Chains A and B, each alone.
Chain A
Amino acid sequence: MSGFAKPLKIALGLAIIAGLIIVPMNFNRYGLFILSQWAVMSIAAMGLNLTLGYAGQVSLAQGAFVGIGAYAAAIMTTHGWPLPAAMLVAIVLSFAVGWVLGYPALRVQHHYLAFVTLAFSTLAFLVFRNESWLTGGIYGISNIPRPHIFGFATNKPLPFYYVCLGALAIVSLAVWWLIRSPWGRAFMALRENPLRAQSLGIDTRRYTLMAFAIGSALGGVAGALYAPLTQYIDPVPFNLSLSLDLLMMVIVGGAGFYFGPFLGAMIAVLLPEWLRFTEGYYLMLYAIAVMLLLIWSPTGILGILDRYMAERRTKAASALRAVAKSRLETAQ
C-alpha cells in the first residue's frame, strides 16, 4: 500500500471512516444488521489473520471461538451481568482455550494442524449442542439484552451498529499496534522461517502459543458482540462452516495484509446480499466468484493490489535507472 502518498492515504482512511459513520444513518433495520455483522466478522477474521496471516499457523477453529465468546456473553448478560464484564470473560476464556489449542501447533504443522483444529471445532459444536444445562442445547438462548454504553441504551439497530463499529475501531488500532511491535515482528519471523527465528533467540514456543491465543481472543470478542447483535443464539451458526467461512474471508481478502480481513469479511457478508436479487443462485455465484478470484490471485484481493504496486515500483525504478544511465552516457 506504500504506493500512495501519505496524506492521500490518511484522507482516504478518514473518508472511509466518515462514510461508515454517516452513510448508514438512514439505512433500514436489515441493512444495519448486515453492516454490524460485517464489523463483527471483520474482528473475528482479524484474529484469524493474526494467527494465519502473520504467524503462519493454520486454524480451522476460529468459528468455535466466536461461539465460545457468544455463549459466554449470552449466558452472563441474560443473568444480569453487564456486557463489558461478559466481554472480558469471553476474551479470557477464548485466550485460555486458544493457548491450549496452540500446543498441537508445537508438534505438527500445516495440514495436520488444520485437521486438529477442525476436530476441535466439531467438538466445541457438540458441547454447545449437548450441554443444554448451560447453553440451552438446540433451543439456544433467547432475549439476549443489548448493553447500555455510558448511559445510552443501544437497543435500536443504529446505536448498536455504532457499538460494533467502535469495537472494530478499538480492535483495529490494537492489532495495528501489535503487528508493529516486537511481538508482531516475532510472529512474522515465525511464519517466514521458524528455524531462523529460533536461532535469533525468539522463543518460538511462546510466540506460537501467543499467536493462537491472541487470534482466538479476538474470535471471542467477535462472539461477545454477535450474541447481543442477533439477540438469540443456538449452536448452528457456530458449526464448522463458520470456521471455514472465516478462513475463506482471510484468504480471499489477503492473508498477512492488514486490510485483508476487512475486505474478506465484506465479500463474505455483503456479496451474497448484493447477489440476493438472483434468488436461489446467490450462494452459487458467490462460490464461483471466490474460486475465480483465487485462480486469478491466490494471495487474495490485496495480493492483486500488491502485485500491481510492486510492478509500478519496478517500472518506476527501471525508468529512473534508464534516465540515470542515459545521463551517464551523455556525460561521457
Chain B
Amino acid sequence: MSNLFDLLVAGLATGAIYALVAVGFTLLWQTSQTINFAQGEFVMLPAFLMLAAMHAGAPFWLAIILGILLSMILLGLGFKLLLVDPMMRHGVLPLAIATMALAIGLKEAVKQFFSAEASPFPSIVPTGDVSIFGHAVSLQSIGVLVVAILAVVGLTTLLNRTSLGHQMQAAAQNPTVARIIGVPVERMILLTFLINAFLVALASLLITPIYLAKFSSGEVLGQAAFIAAIVGGFNQVRGAIAGGLLIGVLDNLAAAYVSTQYRAAVPMIFLIAVILFRPQGLLGRAEERTV
C-alpha cells in the first residue's frame, strides 16, 4: 500500500503541472479557437529564459521574475499579435498548423542559441523528505502541488468571483453579445493569452528541476496537456484541472502496474475511449456540433 500512496502523490504532483498547462490550453481555445500545438514548447522556453538571465548574472529570484515577464511578452503578447491575430479569421486548421511550425522554430532556436544538451535547473523547493501518515513524501512534490493549487485557485477566483473574470467568460462564450453590453472583448482575449503565458512559465518553473531543461522536453508535456484538456472537457477550466490530475496519476500507475514499455499507451487509450463515448469530456458541456 505504501507504494500506491507514493505513486499517487507523485502522480498528483505531475498531474498538477499538466493541469496548469492544460488550463492555459483550454483558455486559448475558448477565447480564440486557437489549438496551440506549441503549448509544450511554451513550457520548455521559460526555463531557458530564466537560465539565460542567471547566466547574465541575475540572482535566482530575479531570474524567475524576468523569465515570467519575458514569457508573458513573447508567448503572450507576441504570440497573439504576430501569429494568432493575422490568422484567427481563417479558421482553426491553418492556425493549428502555424503553431506546429512555431513549435519547430522554438525547439530549434533553443537548440541553436542555448544548447542541445540538457541543463540542470535549480528548484524553488528545497530537496528532502517529510513524513506524512508515516510515508516519506518529497518536499519537491509537495511544493509543486502547493504552487499549482494556489495558481489554480487564484485563477478560478479571478474567473468566477471578479468582474474582470465575468467579462472574460462573457467574451469567451458569446463575443457578439459581450461586445454589445460593453465588454472590451479584444482586451479580454489578450488577457487570456497573458494568463496562458504566465501559467506555462509557472509550469516551466515547477517541472524543469525534475526533468532538466532540454529543447525537446516540450513534446511529451504538450501531449500530456492536450490529453488532459480533452479528457477533462475542452471547454471547461475545472475539466482541464481534473483531466490534468487524472492523467498524471494514470501515467504513474500505468508505469508501475501495466508496463514501462506501454505506459504511454494507457493515457492514449483512455483518450480514445473518452472521445468516443463522451466527446465533451468528463466534466465538459456538450458543444454544438458544427455541420
Is the beta-carbon distance between A107 and B100 smaller than 8 angstroms?
Answer: no
Is the beta-carbon distance between B275 and A112 smaller than 8 angstroms?
Answer: yes
Is the beta-carbon distance between A116 and B98 smaller than 8 angstroms?
Answer: no
Q: Given the complex, which residues of A lie within 8 Å of B194, measured CB to CB? A: none
Closest Cβ of chain B: how far from A243's Cβ, in Å?
Answer: 10
> What's the A-B contact tally at a CB cutoff of 8 Å?
117
Q: How many residues of A contact B (CB 8 A)?
A: 42
Which of A115, A126, A284, A299 makes the CB contact (< 8 A) with B112?
A284
Interface check B181, CB cutoff 8 A? no
Closest Cβ of chain B: how far from A115's Cβ, in Å?
Answer: 5
- For B35, the closest partner residue in chain A by CB is A111
Interface check B128, CB cutoff 8 A? no
Bound-state Cα–Cα, A30 to B249, Å: 47
Q: Given the complex, which residues of B lie within 8 Å of A129, measured CB to CB? A: 261
Interface check A319, CB cutoff 8 A? no
Bound-state Cα–Cα, A181 to B285, Å: 41
Is the beta-carbon distance between A281 and B112 smaller than 8 angstroms?
Answer: yes
Q: Given the complex, which residues of B lie within 8 Å of A255, measured CB to CB? A: 93
Is the beta-carbon distance between A108 and B105 smaller than 8 angstroms?
Answer: no
Is the beta-carbon distance between B86 and A295 smaller than 8 angstroms?
Answer: yes
Is the beta-carbon distance between A287 and B87 smaller than 8 angstroms?
Answer: no
Interface check B42, CB cutoff 8 A? no
Interface check B290, CB cutoff 8 A? yes
Bound-state Cα–Cα, A255 to B226, Å: 25
**Interface segment, A171-179, A221-229, A244-252?**
A244-252
Q: Given the complex, which residues of A lie within 8 Å of B98, measured CB to CB? A: 290-291, 294-295
Bound-state Cα–Cα, A281 to B111, Å: 10
Q: Given the complex, which residues of A lie within 8 Å of B6, measured CB to CB? A: none
Which of A126, A280, A281, A290 makes the CB contact (< 8 A) with B101?
A290
Q: Given the complex, which residues of B lie within 8 Å of A185, measured CB to CB? A: none
Q: Mark B256-291, 1 if CB is under 8 A from A, else 0.
A: 000001101100110110011001000000000111
Is the beta-carbon distance between A291 and B275 smaller than 8 angstroms?
Answer: no
Is the beta-carbon distance between B289 and A109 smaller than 8 angstroms?
Answer: yes
Which of A115, A130, A283, A288 makes the CB contact (< 8 A) with B230?
A115
Interface check B91, CB cutoff 8 A? yes
Which of A58, A109, A110, A294 makes the CB contact (< 8 A) with B87?
A294
Bound-state Cα–Cα, A284 to B102, Å: 9
Is the beta-carbon distance between B97 and A126 smaller than 8 angstroms?
Answer: no
Q: Is the interface of A mostly helix, strand, loop or mixed?
A: helix
Q: Mark B73-113, 1 if CB is under 8 A from A, else 0.
A: 00000000001001100111111111011101100110110
Interface check B48, CB cutoff 8 A? no
Interface check B193, CB cutoff 8 A? no
Q: Taking A116-B272, A288-B105 as contacts, is the C-beta distance between A295 and B83 under 8 angstroms? A: yes
Closest Cβ of chain A: how far from B276's Cβ, in Å?
Answer: 6
- For B291, the closest partner residue in chain A by CB is A195
Q: Given the complex, which residues of B lie within 8 Å of A291, measured CB to CB? A: 83, 98, 101-102, 105
Closest Cβ of chain B: how far from A61's Cβ, in Å?
Answer: 12
5 A-B contacts, Cβ less than 8 Å apart?
A: A283-B104, A284-B108, A288-B101, A290-B98, A294-B97
Q: Which A residues are within 8 Å of any B CB, using their own CB?
A: 58, 104, 107-112, 114-116, 118-120, 122-123, 126, 129-130, 193-195, 240, 244, 247-248, 251-252, 255, 280-281, 283-284, 286-288, 290-291, 294-295, 298-299
Other contacts beyond A112-B275, A116-B275, A248-B100: 13, CB < 8 A: A111-B96, A120-B268, A122-B264, A122-B265, A130-B262, A280-B108, A281-B112, A287-B101, A287-B105, A291-B101, A294-B94, A298-B94, A299-B90
The 7 closest A-B pairs by CB, nearest first: A287-B105, A298-B94, A298-B90, A290-B101, A119-B268, A284-B108, A287-B104
